[in-house]
Amino acid sequence: MADPVVASHLSLVLKAPPTISSPSQFLLQQHSKPMASSLNSAASLRLFASSSSSSSSAAARLSLRSTSLSFSSSLKSLAFSTLSRHKRGSAVSVSSTGGFSSVASPKCAASDPDQLKSAREDIKELLKSKFCHPILVRLGWHDAGTYNKNIEEWPRRGGANGSLRFEVELKHAANAGLVNALNLLQHIKDKYSGVTYADLFQLASATAIEEAGGPKIPMKYGRVDVSGPNECPEEGRLPAAGPPSPADHLREVFYRMGLNDKEIVALSGAHTLGRSRPDRSGWGKPETKYTKDGPGAPGGQSWTVQWLKFNNSYFKDIKAKRDEDLLVLPTDAVLFEDPSFKVYAEKYAEDQETFFKDYAEAHAKLSNLGAKFNPPEGIVLDDGPR
- Give the other-Cβ count within 10 Å of 294's Cβ: 10
Cα distance between residue 369 and residue 149, in whole Å: 9
- Alpha carbon dihedral 258, 264, 266, 267, in 10-degree steps, equals 80
pLDDT value of position 47:
31
Tell me the C-alpha to C-alpha distance, in Å, between residue 85 and each of 82, 225, 314.
5, 18, 48
Say if CB 344 and CB 277 are below 8 A apart: no
| Predicted model pTM | 0.73
| Active site annotation includes 142 | yes
Q: Is the pLDDT of residue 46 over 50?
A: no
> What average pLDDT score do residues 60-81 get?
40
From the candidates 142, 172, 249, 363, give the one annotated as an active-site residue.
142
Q: Per-residue pLDDT tens for 278-313?
A: 988 889 999 999 999 989 889 999 999 999 999 999
Cα distance between residue 235 and residue 252, in whole Å: 15
Q: Per-residue pLDDT tens for 366-379?
A: 999 999 999 999 99
> What average pLDDT score do residues 117-127 get?
98
Residue 51 — very low, low, confident or very high, per pLDDT cuts 50/70/90?
Answer: very low
> What average pLDDT score do residues 103-132 get?
84
> What average pLDDT score do residues 264-272 get?
98
pLDDT value of position 281:
83
Tell me the C-alpha to C-alpha distance, in Å, between residue 333 and each of 239, 281, 319, 345.
15, 18, 8, 10
pLDDT value of position 280:
82
In whole numbers, what is the pLDDT of the chain averaged over residues?
A: 80
